[in-house]
Structures are given as structure tokens and as C-alpha cells.
Structure 1
Amino acid sequence: MRKTSLALAVAASTLGLSLSQVATAAFIEDSKASIEARNFYFNRDFRQEGAAQHKSEEWAQGFILRMNSGFTDGTVGFGADAIGTFGFKLDSGDGTAGSGLLVPDRSGGSQDNYSGLAVAAKAKISNSTLRVGQMQFKNAAIASSDGRLLPQVFEAGHLVSQEIDGLMLEAAHVREVNHRNSGDYEDIAITSGGRRGIATTGGTTSDAFDFIGGTYKITKDLTAGYYYSNLDELYKQHSLNAVHVLPLGDKQSLKTDLRYARSTDDGNRSNVDNKAIGAMVTYGLEGHAFGLGYQKMSGDTGFAYINGTDPFLVNYVQISDFANKDEKSYQARYDFNFASIGIPGLTFMTRYLTGDNVDRGRSVSEGKEWERDTELMYVFQDGALKNLGVRWRNATVRSNFANDIDENRLIVSYTLPLL
């Protein structure tokens, strides 16, 4: 992964601080480092007749090293963060590539291995921190995907301020992205596939994405957020969110998650025009959680977001996002934490989603789709295998306008703290 000259210059000046200064600071004592070994098996069967590819099946091993330093002493504290990644192929036969675990090669297969180093320099004044370099994001405007072997990383400048108790403000200018199955950085693209109805001129990419916004904890039970984002020349978006947790008594609660986004074009390179509303209500009772969700798209297009990221939608799940033009979708979900019956580390989740009213054009009937997901996970709590996690994820998708899919993912991961 390549770095910009600006990021390298800042990183070099930060890391070039004298040892005497570093030794007297919290630079070392507040540092954290860990390495995660992630073994990933992916199997996706395309069930519809006439599919160009009948199966995507790959097995790979990845390692993710995360290092976060503390800050040097002084009015302005300096530090650095780094993410080192390495992934290699264990199995990928001819005609079964394309899982997103590995970097594609020119023959239609996958490369044997790939690696990268993402470095960000940082400076802190009071409770405000500026980072410049390569990093991950997770907010209503942009969320890095970590759903495959290695994480998605962006090249950006990012400012976070927490000067007021309960208020977090942030802003960023993002230039490029290194996708989860890529060995290099590239321009940022808008998601435009499916029945989204998003059309562009002059390409689907931009070299600038900006956002500003934050969250505020209004009370101990209520948090609200707002973000404005702009993918230069392609879309502008306002995102609002409110989460309320209502205690209902002994080991009971009612969580309400409300989301709204308004997306429009930014110039004449796209036709983006969307209103997205979503709500998820979850009732918790001891180890049980029962959830109901609703999501609706309106406007001339479906929902707009950066390609390859996790969109801020209540009905974005394992495979589908239910964000096509005019789509209405519903979700029923059940979770169980086995710790409530004396088996800590074991969790179960299942959900079913159905969507309809998708605009497929004037000459055909409305689009419909459904998805069923199941996930079982266990993290060893003690002994020689402590912190080893085993996760099985299963999904089934059926649609009259997109691929019919049966999918299984088996993920074995182990995280070792180094500092």
C-alpha cells in the first residue's frame, strides 16, 4: 500500500522525536498493540438458472497487526498508529474465485498473497486529535468494511474533538481507498449496481470525499447524531440518527434505533435522489433479544454510499442492503446469549428480511427479494484456547431481479495482545 508524501513527512517527523522526549511521555506506556490471525472459508452458490458462475469458493489465512501509540508530553502530543496486513491463499480453484478474500489476478483467479502497511501520524491538543495517513472509519457517513480476510483502509486527514462532555465532533477529507481485496489505493467509487437506478457520466469515481458531523449523548438513555457528507461531483448526503434505550425492569429493555438520510446529486455527473428511512426496535429479556425493523426508499434512485463500505442502514445485512429504488423492506430478528444460562462466549443470531416494491421499469412487475441469515459464534473463555473465536455464518437470498444465493462462511480468529 503506498502512502502520500504528506503522510510520510508527518509520520517521519513524529517517529523522529528524540528518545529522551518519548521516554518521559505516555507515548510508550499508553501504547497498545495486538495481532489477529484470521482463517476464512467462503462458499457462495449461485442458484439461478443460466448463472455465468455457479460457485465462488475460497479459503485463506490472514494476519492483522494493529499498533496505536500514546502521545508525547507537552501542549501538543504526537504519536502514530499503524495497521499491518498479510493474507495468503490456501485454496482457490479455477472458476471459483471472486469471494472478496483475495486479490483477483488477470486470469480470473486469485493472487497467492498480498500485504500492506497503513500508517497514520497523529497530534493531540486537549481532547482533540488530528490524524493524517491511512485509517479506518465507522460512522453514519462512512464505515470501513471488515467482512472479509483483511480490512478496508482509507487515506485521509481526520479531526476528532471531544472537548464537551457527551459531545463527539469529527470531520475528514478522504482521498483514496484500499479495498479489502486489493493491494493498492484507488479513487473512491459510488455504489451503483442492482436496481438502484443510479446513473453517472464521466465514470463512477471521485478523488475526494468529505464529511463533518458527530454524536451527542443527550441523556444516559438517548444519543443523537448528524453527519453531512459529499462524494465530490457524485452525491451529497445528510444523515440523522437517534438511539434510545428504555429500561423496563429487571434484565429487560427496549431499544429504538431511528435513521434518516437524504441524498442528492452533486453537480451533473449523477442522478442521485433518495430519501431513506429506517427503524429498528429491539426488546431485550435476559439473554434474549427480539427485533423488528422497517426500511423504505423513496425518490428517483436508491440509496447512495461509497462502494465497498458498510452503509448506515438498519436492513443492511450479510448479503443484501435492501436499498434499491422505491424498495420497502421488513426485518424480524432474534438473538440469544448463552451466558444467561451459564455458557459464556456462545451467541446465536437469526433474522429474516423481505423487500418489495422495487422499481424494475415500466414493462415488468415489481421487484421482490428476501434474505435469511443465521450466525453461531463461540469464543473460548479460558484454557489453552482462550480468546480463540469460531464463527459460522449462513445466508440464503432469493430475488426476481438479482442473484439467488446460498452462502456459508466459516471464520476462525485469534487475537493476541502484544502491549
Structure 2
Amino acid sequence: MQHDRKTICQLLCAGAALSVAGPASAAFFDDSKAAIELRNFYMNRDFRGSESTQAKAEEWAQGFILKFESGYTEGPIGFGVDALGLLGVKLDSSPDRTGTGILQRDREAPNRAQDDYGSAGLTAKAKMSNTTLHVGTLQPVLPVIMRNDSRLLPNTYRGAWLQSKEIDGLTLDAGKLTDVSYRDSSDSEDMTAFNGGLRNITFGNKTTSDEFLFAGGRYQFTPELTGSYYYGGLDGIYDQHNFNVVHVLPIGDNQSFKTDLRYVRSTDDGGSNVDNNAFGALFTYKIGGHGFTGGYQKMSGETGFAYISGGDNSLINLLQINDFGNEDEKSWQVRYDYDFAAMGIPGLSLMTRYVTGDNVDRGAGLSEGKEWERNTDVAYVVQSGPLKNLGLKVRNATVRSNFGSDLDETRLILSYTMALW
């Protein structure tokens, strides 16, 4: 960890040195910014008397997320640099309570959590007109490749990402990723497809890959209508085509109806049996501070949904614990949101939802798999005063299943972001 902390400082110093290299670099310095997020994370997952010898996973940790973003040098092509430093520190854990995903396990004693872990990343960037190229550490949030930021530290990728916004309303993306760093690890690894639950994905001779290619775009046809298509392919394992249409219909004062339709086609790329169609539809009616949502998700094909292990995905029923992406699974969602700003309490919000799934293929001779999950989030962000931007979130989840573990889970997250300049 001493090396990681030193590397973070070196990255920031390098950026500062470049920023004052000459008059042409004035914008590099003037537009640069740096911030640190302090994230205190407690998590308790009760396995509800499962056959596992571990009764629960319970850990507490402090995270530090340091971000530096430079501006661009002046000229037809502007150059810049970004830096990211991640550090997680153990506050409480024990060998019988590890496995929450917020701390890295010790390599020599996997049932113990390390006292601390972290990483540092540097990203070179160039900009011409409204087109940018980033090379190095990346945290994409695209339909076919999404970072995961649901624990103490986010996961990261390494590669190159080209994004163009030359045409009004149109965003084009293309890139290549070479490896992934998981949210509870300081190592970089080759990528693979997530295969938890009953996805029933099998691999051939190739289980990992060092090449993920992506390309696609998003176009805003009107202020109310947006559509996107993205391709993502993990070399030798799977190919994926992702379609999405979102329409927001204004109904009247403080009222709207949102339709979100998603379809994803995934096939094998020679090294697996991936074969999945994923359809999802979400409908949300908002009035004042209230939001009422209903959704339906259906899996079909020979396997469940495929995506890069360690990240998130674009399924509408991706929840706190499950995503209901098992083979042949059908799932329904009901959700309620409330923004207490409508009652004069800005910064306070509530979300509660329930998803039930069935028709999961458990294998020949077995009854269909069924599961459900219930989530409740309560969050508050201080709006003014000396504690402005201090956030507190309580997340609770309950899972019941006839093919997986029954779980009760609570997460308590305290966060504060402070601008350094």
C-alpha cells in the first residue's frame, strides 16, 4: 500500500507539472479539478441458515477515492491527463465474517481480509473539436460495459475509449478494453463472463479474454425520445447487441409517463455456449414527488444473460443482489419512489421495490426455479451549511429462492466529497 499511495501522489504531481509547462497549457491548469470522496461502508449479509458453514458476512471499512481531471492544452488537438487513486482500509472483519465484497481477501489466508488495499490509475486524453480519446484507466457506463460502484470502491478497466459528439444530439462510442480490476481487488485481470445463479453458461478451452471491443451510439430524436444501439464482444467468449428506446411523455404540471424498452441479443464467439435473448420493459408514472414503476423482464435461449464479470449490466431488474438473468427466467417488478423535496425536505429520498421471478430452468426432472427480492433505500444528502454534500444511505434487501441462498442484507453508507481545487 505504501507503493500505491506514492504512485497516487506522483500522478497528481505529474499532472501539475504538465499544466505549467508553458503558456499553451494555460487551459490545462485553469480547467483542472481534483476531489476526494470519503466513503464509510458497513455491510451485513445474513445467510438465513443456509447449508454454508458461514452464517453471515459482516464487515466495516473506510474508502478514499481521489480523482484528478486536467483541462486540455490549447491548439487544434488538446492533450490532458486524469488520475484516479483508490484506497480501502479495514475497520472491522474476522475470518468467519469475510466475503462482503468491500475488502480484499488475503492471498495467503483467503478467509481473512487484508488490512488495506488499493490501486492507482492514469489516463491520457486528447480532444479535437467535440471528439475525445481516453487511454488508460477507464470507468465506462455504457449499455454493454458498465463499471460497478455498489461497494466501498468502484471497479475499473484499462483500455482505449473514443467518444464523438460532433452531431447535435448524437453520441458515438468505440473502444477496446484489455483487463479489469474488481471492486475488492488491487490486481488487474483478464475478463470473463459472469456465470452465477443458473445462467448455465459453459466455456470451452477459453475461459478468459484480454480483448473486449465495443461500439455504438445514442441519439436524441426529440426532447422526449431517445434511442441507442451498442455492440459489445468479449473475444472468443460472446458477442452482444444491445437496443434501447426511452420515451418521456409530459402529461401536465409535475406529471410524466416514461417508457423504457430494452432488447439484448447475446451469442457465443466460439468459446462458450452463450445464447440469450433478454427483453425488458419499464413504465414509470411521476406526479409531484411520487414515482410509480412497473416492469417486465424475460430471458429466452439456451443460457442466461451474459456480461463482463465484476461490472454491472443493463437489465431492468438489476437490483441490490440479483439481476433475474437466469436461463428462461421471467420476472416482474413494482417500484415506488418519493422525493421529499415535494414536502419541503430537499435531499431526502425513498425507494422501495419488489421483483419476483419464475420459470428458471433448473435442469431435467426438476421443478421450475422461483425467487424474489425486496429492496428499500432511504437516502439523505445535506443541502447547506458546514456539512453540505454529506450523504447517508441505508439499503436493505431480502432474497428468497428455491435454487439459491436465502439472504437478508443491510448496507449503511456514509459519504462526503470534498473539492481540493
Matching of residues 13-412 of structure 1 within 5 Å = 17=18, 19-21=20-22, 24-105=25-106, 106-107=108-109, 108-267=111-270, 269-412=271-414
Q: How many residues align?
A: 412
Distance 2:162 2:15 in 1: 17
Distance 1:12 1:201, change over 3 A: farther
1:42-84: CA deviation from partner (whole Å, max 9, x where unpaired): 0000014422321000000001011111100001100011111
Distance 2:147 2:359 in 1: 29
Q: Could you say what secondary structure the match of 2:29 adopts?
A: coil
Contact 1:77 / 1:123 at 8 angstroms: preserved in 2?
A: yes
Contact 2:275 / 2:301 at 8 angstroms: preserved in 1?
A: yes
Distance 2:239 2:389 in 1: 42
The letter of the residue matching 1:94 is P
Runs of at least 5 residues in structure 2 that lack an aligned partner in the other structure: 5-11
Distance 1:55 1:27, change over 3 A: same
Distance 1:12 1:342 in 2: 44
Distance 1:402 1:18 in 2: 53
Distance 1:192 1:24, change over 3 A: closer
The letter of the residue matching 1:224 is G
The letter of the residue matching 2:308 is I
Quote how far apart the aligned CAs of 1:292 are: 0.2
The letter of the residue matching 2:392 is V
Contact 2:89 / 2:117 at 8 angstroms: preserved in 1?
A: yes
Q: 4+ runs of 1 displaced by more than 4 Å?
A: 11-18
Contact 1:395 / 1:406 at 8 angstroms: preserved in 2?
A: yes
Q: Could you say what secondary structure the match of 1:374 adopts?
A: strand
TM-score for the superposition, normalised by structure 1: 0.95
Quote how far apart the aligned CAs of 1:94 are: 2.1
Q: Could you say what secondary structure the match of 1:227 adopts?
A: strand
Match of 1:8 in 2: none
Distance 1:100 1:298 in 2: 30
The letter of the residue matching 1:398 is R
Runs of at least 5 residues in structure 1 that lack an aligned partner in the other structure: 4-10
Match of 1:7 in 2: none
Distance 1:45 1:150 in 2: 22
Distance 2:24 2:139 in 1: 28
Q: Could you say what secondary structure the match of 1:26 adopts?
A: helix
Quote how far apart the aligned CAs of 1:31 are: 1.4
CA RMSD across the alignment: 1.9
Quote how far apart the aligned CAs of 1:12 are: 11
Contact 1:22 / 1:72 at 8 angstroms: preserved in 2?
A: no
